[in-house]
Amino acid sequence: MRALCWEGVNKLSVEQVPEPEIRNDQDVLVRLLLSTTCGSDLHIIGGYIPAMRPGDVIGHEFVGEVVETGSGVRRHRVGDRVVVCSFIGCGRCWYCRNDMWSLCDNTNTNPGIGQALFGYETAGIFGYSHAMGGIRGSHAEYVRVPFADYGAFPVPEGVDDLSALFASDAVPTGWMGADLGGVRPGDVVAVWGCGAVGQMAARASVIKGAERVICIDRHTERLAMAETYTGAETIDYTSTDVAAELRTRTGGRGPDVCIEAVGMEAHSNGPGYLYDQAKHQLRLQTDRPTAVRQAIHACRKGGTVFVLGVFAGAVDKFPLGMVVNKGLTLRGAQMHGQRYIPMLLERIAAGEISTAHLATHTMSLDRAAKGYDMFKHKRDGCVRAVFHP
């Protein structure tokens, strides 16, 4: 079958690879209908996330059709149309039972690598390096889904493939930022980054009753999308002093909740960006925490900063003094999708959450390398490139 493979730093190509097989009784095999790029993929493509091998299939956000089930599968049948959570959870360890699915104890097949990097390993994730299990990704014709009874969800009637696709990762990730960030009615929420995850975090904040939601980015088309589809206000950081503008819009208090949806390759227009970029390129720090610093600086006293963006390792000039002296709550997590996906599919079906607009470019899997190039450089207003096999 065809699959998009990582062949080295900034090298992707569509290759012929063997079809996946059922390996465990609780697996299903899924024929891909759609699979999409994610900003976090850029970190592995660029070599910032270690533990990739040439030939690894990438991709983790997808919708498909069940074509084979293992003998232990109870909730799915051949022919089911399913959206699959990007993180794999066994459903029965302490973390899964407590709705912290991305921390599952039993789905990372390479726990020693994850423990060397983070102290304790994460759950397994599709197509996201051998540190996170080395599991084949979804930019392919078929993918094996372990523990499918817990990670694959039927797509409701009336929800098309494109709308369901983003319930695999972007929508639950954004929702989690608002939920675990503790957004409450009346709050003012600031969201750094207007990609798919940032937009979904903004929409979740609006639905949860935030009185004002303010999105920050530099791409005018993404800012326009955030205004149109999420109900948020926006700030273009290339033409506005973000910290001053946030103070003005919040009566001098600062936002109650700040959600960072940018990640380890952040941009900004200040001298700090040049500093971070230089240290990053020289491998003197593994991540550029520009947006995290801004969020911590801007957040009101006693407020919450939630880091949704993907970070891999160590950062420099982290303002710990601001966290302590302002009494901030600082949280972060990878996505506990199984906790939210059924509820989010209902909201998508009811029209409360729009997602299809995120798919700005749809193309054949054969053009996936080109799609990632467009996505990385945000050419032609690309927010997400979507591949169909």
Residues forming contacts to another protein in the complex (CB under 8 A) are 3, 5, 8, 15, 17-18, 20-21, 23-26, 50-57, 72, 88, 90-94, 97, 105-107, 109-116, 119-121, 124, 130, 133-136, 144, 146-147
Asked if 234 and 227 touch (Cβ cutoff 8 Å), the reply is yes
Q: How far is the CB of 125 from another protein (least distance, A)?
A: 13
Least distance in angstroms from the C-beta of 388 to another protein:
21
Of the two residues 122 and 360, which places its CB atom closer to another protein in the complex? 122
Q: What phi, psi does 298 have (nearest 5°)?
A: -80, -25
H helices of 152-219, in order, are: 161-165, 170-180, 196-207
Q: What span, in angstroms and rounded, lies between the C-alpha atoms of 63 and 34?
A: 5
Least separation in angstroms between CB 86 and another protein: 16
Nearer of residues 89 and 309 to another protein, judged by Cβ: 89
Partners of residue 236 on adjacent β-strands: 217
Residue 128 three-state SS: coil
State the nearest-atom distance from the C-beta of 85 to another protein, in Å: 15
Amino acid at 45: I
CA distances to 188, 219, 253, 323 from 303, rounded to whole Å, are: 10, 27, 10, 10
> How many Å apart are CA 125 and CA 44, to the nearest integer?
13
The nearer residue to another protein, 96 or 344, going by C-beta atoms, is 96
Minimum distance, C-beta of residue 12 to another protein, in the bound complex (Å):
13
**Token pair 């936002």 is at which residue?**
255
Phi-psi label, residue 129: left if phi above 0, alpha if psi -120 to 50, beta otherwise? left
Nearer residue to another protein within complex by CB, 16 or 239: 16
Asked if 232 contacts 208 with a C-beta cutoff of 8 angstroms, the reply is: no
d(CA 229, CA 358): 10
- Least Å distance between CB 32 and another protein? 15
Q: Which is nearer to another protein, 134 or 255 (CB)?
A: 134
CB of 112 to another protein, least distance (A): 3
Cα dihedral 104, 106, 108, 111, rounded to 10, equals: 100
Long-range contacts of 91-95 (CB under 8 A, 24+ apart): 91/147, 91/149, 91/150, 91/338, 95/123
Nearer to another protein, 107 or 268 (CB): 107
Query: Which residue from 8, 35, 45, 5 is spatially nearest to 377, judged by alpha carbons?
Result: 45
Structure tokens at 280: 């990053």
Q: Least Å distance between CB 107 and another protein?
A: 6
Neighbours of 105 (CB within 10 A): 16
Nearest approach in angstroms of CB 101 to another protein is 13
Cβ nearer to another protein, comparing 9 with 314: 9
Residue 190 sits at φ, ψ, to 5 deg, of -110, 135
